[in-house]
Amino acid sequence: MRGVLAALVVLALAAGFGRAAAQETVSPVPSPIVTLDQERLFSESLWGKRAAERIEARSTELALENRQIEGELTVEERALTDRRATMTPEAFRAAADAFDAKVTEIRQTQDAKLRAIGRLQETERQRFLAAAFPVIGDVVRSRGAVAVLDSRAIFLAAEAIDITDILIERIDTELGAGDDVAAPDALQSDPGSTNGD
């Protein structure tokens, strides 16, 4: 019975919040706390979409490169196997060791490229948040709020205090896709930094 009552209270609160949000689409609720979905703020912004396209393009390019390398190494390995009958055991062992060393070096190089792509996502997020921080602060102040909570960590909240959509619109207008925004000082020397291209 207690569980049913709790469920009814939650449903009633949700319905009330839904009505409040619908009534206050024009006039947001004055609140000392606002909520923000950080993931959606980044992924749905022009900056986040540009970053996602760039990362996808690099991932596709690396996958094609890996397939080409794999094909070339397969041909080279087959050629070495075919020559084995005409080689002394020592000569074959030396050639095989050299081939293994080459494969290891290539694997390390390609793994480093993959890690760099992985760092690119985090670097873009850091640049985005650093550039967007003044905009976020301005919106928070204009709402008279003193705190911002991540909406994904909140069980229930009125939609009227969520500022994600407002921020996406403001950030898109003021920062665009972020191509011309300089990286913060801490990221200037990061090998995953996305300045340029």
Phi, psi of 176, rounded to the nearest 5 degrees: 60, -140
Evaluate whether residue 49 is within a structural domain: yes
Total domains, the chain: 1
Beta strands in the chain (DSSP E): 33-36, 147-150
Taking the alpha carbons of 139, 143, 149, 152 in that order, is the dihedral positive or negative? negative
- What lies within 8 Å, CB to CB, of 44 at 6+ separation is 168
For 64, the domain range is 2-187
* Digit-coded pLDDT (tens) for 146-189: 888 887 777 666 777 888 898 999 999 988 887 766 554 434 43
Evaluate whether residue 192 is within a structural domain: no
Q: Which amino acid is at 49?
A: K
* Digit-coded pLDDT (tens) for 92-127: 999 999 999 999 999 999 999 999 999 998 999 999
**Distances, alpha carbon 14 to alpha carbons 10, 27, 103, 174, in Å:** 6, 19, 59, 34
Per the DSSP assignment, residues forming a β-bridge with 34 are 148
Evaluate whether residue 132 is within a structural domain: yes
Q: Is residue 91 predicted with pLDDT exceeding 70?
A: yes
Evaluate whether residue 50 is within a structural domain: yes
User: How far apart are alpha carbons 90 and 96 in whole angstroms?
Assistant: 10
Place of tokens 């992924």: 43
Encoded tokens for 147: 């705190």
Find how far residue 77's CA is from the centre of its chain.
38
User: How far apart are alpha carbons 148 and 136 in whole angstroms?
Assistant: 9
- pTM passes above 0.75: no
CB distance 158 to 17 below 8 Å = yes
* Digit-coded pLDDT (tens) for 7-55: 332 333 344 444 444 444 434 566 788 888 889 999 999 999 999 999 9
Place of tokens 């301005």: 138
Evaluate whether residue 196 is within a structural domain: no
Evaluate whether residue 194 is within a structural domain: no
User: How far apart are alpha carbons 22 and 14 in whole angstroms?
Assistant: 12
Evaluate whether residue 13 is within a structural domain: yes
Taking the alpha carbons of 79, 84, 86, 91 in that order, is the dihedral positive or negative? positive
Evaluate whether residue 195 is within a structural domain: no
**Residue (of 64, 41, 36, 76) closest to 163 by Cα position:** 36
